Amino acid sequence: MAIDVEANMRIPGLTLKSANQPTQAINNSSVRFTKMIQVPAIPKPGELLQVSMRSGLLLDTTVTRADWSDDRGLFIVSCTYAKRSISAEEYQALITDSDWTVKQLP
């Protein structure tokens, strides 16, 4: 039986280069991307978790923690993007995906 959880993903910063626009450095240290997903079991810290986007891309993440939220009645699975850097294509697909919500940390 699948379990509904909220994925709370941290991604690395990146630099976007364009031929007709100035180079843009994006710092994602205070941003999290969240999405409701289904998992067969609550993942443990250190486990690999693949999350999907509407474009069909799958992102590999590493689980850092899983906490129960009494207020929301579900587990929140915190994870980080598994690779050292995220490509511009993956970043654009993520920020334009309506299934993912961008949360600014205080």
- Counted residue by residue, the chain has a size of 106
How much is the pLDDT for 61?
98
Tell me the pLDDT of the chain (106 aa) as tens digits.
899 999 999 999 999 888 888 888 999 999 999 999 999 999 999 999 999 999 999 999 999 999 999 999 999 999 999 999 999 999 999 999 999 999 999 8
* Domain residue limits at 65: 3-99
Q: Tokens at residue 36, please?
A: 């409701």
Domain assignment present for residue 66? The answer is: yes
Strand intervals (E) in the chain? 3-10, 14-16, 24-26, 31-39, 48-52, 58-69, 74-81, 101-104
Q: Tokens at residue 40, please?
A: 């067969």
Domain assignment present for residue 54? The answer is: yes
Domain assignment present for residue 13? The answer is: yes
How much is the pLDDT for 86?
95
How much is the pLDDT for 27?
94
DSSP classification of residue 42: P
Q: What residues pair up with 99 in beta bridges, in sequence order? A: none
Domain assignment present for residue 105? The answer is: no
* Total count of domains within the chain: 1
How much is the pLDDT for 16?
86
Q: Tokens at residue 10, please?
A: 């941290």
